[in-house]
Amino acid sequence: MKKIFILIIVGVLGFGNISFAKQEYIDSMSTINDDLRRYFPRWKVCEPDLQYQIYQAFILLGVDKSSLDMQDVEVLASPKGPKDKYYEILLLTCGDASLNARQVDSELKTIGSYLSGRKKYDRSVKGKKKPGLRDYCFVEIPPEIPVKADQGAAIRDYLQPTNVNQALTLSMFDQSLKFGDTGYWLLSKIGNDEIGYPYWNAGESKFMLKKPLYDNDDNNTKESFPYLINLTLGGAYQINSGIDPSGVFSWISERKLNSNPNGKLIAGLDVHMPFHPEFGVHFNVEMPLSTLREEEIFSGDYASYVPYNRNISFSDLQDKRRGTVNFSDSTVGVVPILNASGQVTLFYNLWLNKRRAENYFRFDFGISYAEVNEYFLYSEQLYRDAEEGEVGNEDGMVNAGKGPATISNDGISGLNMYKPDEISDWLYAKVEYRNQAVYPFSLSMQISNQILLTRAYVPLFGTWFFLEAKYSTPLRDALPFEIENFFMISPVIRITI
């Protein structure tokens, strides 16, 4: 019944005087458009040895190598009959080249029998193989998904696709929402990846609105680059989590850095060159809304440490704070706060084959800036604990006085300001690779602020549920507020309409 239904569709869509004889029908599959192919069983071949055999077979048949892609092998098939469990191969595609049923049967008969499930491929498995069990690596393409799905689309960010009307991505790292065909994006992020501090490592969260400023009128490039200029505006605010992780987060390192409690302003600009939109310039700046000199805080919300082997001195604080506090050459606690940061980089987007845009690279190179200031932390409780020698734990983190306190750098000497002071501190370099041929996965590596940050995501279920991981480590001696090895993993939900 299903086969009859498909034949009717072929006729309705106007494929001329196609004979309904079996072989002529099968051979005509090489000319069927993408809208009709969705009604047939389809799958991607991901078995490396089988991919190589198919690739070599196409070459031996005289197909130009430039049109082939060994990572992009797709099978279009039809059930043999109601009682048969294996498939009948209708079309075998490698990159941009295809072989119809007659060609597969005459030129790739053995390979075709493996693909259809008629013959056992993995001969290392003992026992008789049941018909219809394809024992090689493959990924089904559901019938309801059109042939031209996100796989192969020349988009720059798979988790923020520009080739759909609506998109929603949710993870513990990032959240994004696309508003129809307006080009507007609402973005939310935890951490500051640009300077190597992912997730709660930076002690801050961001919310931003990304909007297009200038449309791309070039029909040859507008699918990949719908806008030549994009503006990002938003802000960052302090988060209190991550100081003492517990429960399901007990395996994540404690946070040692804080964000400015007064918040920060974020502004970014991406400019693509009109003559070659793949190339462009990226600007990003994050500035505190006000200069922080002194702040009343709840010390339990802030990460702090004891700066051993360092003297901090200050003028008489008598009657300047709550009660009578007069430290003299005494260290109690230091709070590090991330203030200004920013980047200016050149970027380049590269698809190895834009017609089959499954292999994508992005390169970024430029300069990065990050500024962390130390503030003196004190309270009456901390003063009493300091006298009793109960301020710092074995890691040098302050573990006492979780209550009202004050942070200040006004009139205090011995506090550090960490900012770039050598060429390697300024360097920003990043390379990203994405593959959409079989599994839409991605790998990236970044060096910024002398910190290595790697990121990867892989699919778990279809193209809507992924697993994402980030790892960062300083390439120099870790500063007091840095985590030597920070690792975090998160599920990702991706919904597109």
CB 306 within 8 A of CB 400: no
So what's the pLDDT on residue 344? 97
Q: Which ranges constitute the DSSP H helices of 273-415?
A: 380-387
CB 98 within 8 A of CB 61: no
DSSP 167: E
Q: What's the CA gap between 150 and 360, in Å, rounded?
A: 13
Q: What's the CA gap between 369 and 283, in Å, rounded?
A: 12
So what's the pLDDT on residue 189? 95
So what's the pLDDT on residue 127? 53
**Cβ neighbours for 28, distance < 8 A, ≥ 6 positions apart:** 10, 15, 18, 100
Which H helix or E strand runs over 56? helix 48-60
Rg of the chain (C-alpha set): 30
Q: From residue 272, give the alpha-carbon distance in Å to each of 166, 278, 344, 349.
A: 23, 7, 14, 10
Residue-level pLDDT, tens digit, the chain, 497 residues: 444 444 444 444 433 333 333 344 444 444 455 556 666 788 889 888 899 999 999 999 888 888 888 888 989 888 765 566 778 888 898 887 888 888 888 888 888 888 888 888 876 655 555 555 788 888 887 765 544 444 456 778 888 888 778 889 999 999 999 988 888 999 999 999 999 999 989 999 999 999 999 999 887 788 888 899 999 999 999 998 887 777 667 778 888 999 999 999 999 999 999 999 999 999 999 999 988 888 888 878 888 887 766 666 555 444 344 333 444 434 467 899 999 999 999 999 998 877 667 789 999 999 999 999 999 887 765 555 544 544 444 454 444 456 778 888 887 777 889 999 999 999 999 999 998 766 789 999 999 999 999 999 998 887 789 999 999 999 999 999 999 999 999 999 998 87
Which H helix or E strand runs over 106? helix 101-107
User: How does DSSP assign 308-377, residue by residue?
Assistant: TT---EE---TTTSSS----SS---EEEEEEEEEEEEEEEEEEES-GGGTTEEEEEEEEEEEEEEEEEEE
Distance, CA of 274 to chain centre: 27
CB 77 within 8 A of CB 87: yes
Take residue 202 and report the two structure tokens written for it: 């930076």
Distance, CA of 36 to chain centre: 33
Q: What's the CA gap between 418 and 449, in Å, rounded?
A: 11
Q: What's the CA gap between 493 and 233, in Å, rounded?
A: 25
Residues 441-464 as b or e (16 or more Cβ within 10 Å = b): bbebebbbbbbebebbbebeeebe
Domain positions in the chain are 2-141, 175-431
Number of Cβ within 10 Å of residue 401's Cβ equals 24
So what's the pLDDT on residue 308? 63
**What phi-psi label fits residue 309: left (phi over 0), alpha (psi between -120 and 50 degrees) or beta?**
left
